[in-house]
Amino acid sequence: MFRNLFGIKKSYSQEEIITSPMVGDLVDITNVSEPVFSQKMMGDGVAIVPTDGVVVSPIDGVVLNVFRTKHAIGLRSKCGIEIMIHIGLETVELNGEGFETYVEDGQSVNKGDKLLSFNLEKIRSKSYNPISPVVITNMDEKVAKMEKLNIDNTVFRGTPIMKVLLK
69 burial (CB, 10 Å; 0-12 / 13-18 / 19+) is: middle
Question: Which residue in the list 86, 98, 118, 146 is annotated as catalytic?
Answer: 86
Active site residue 71: no
Alpha-carbon separation of residue 17 from 89, 101, 122, 149, 163 (angstroms): 25, 24, 32, 10, 5
- The arrangement of strands across the sheet holding 15-19 comes to 15-19, 160-166, 143-148
Q: Which residues are catalytic?
A: 86
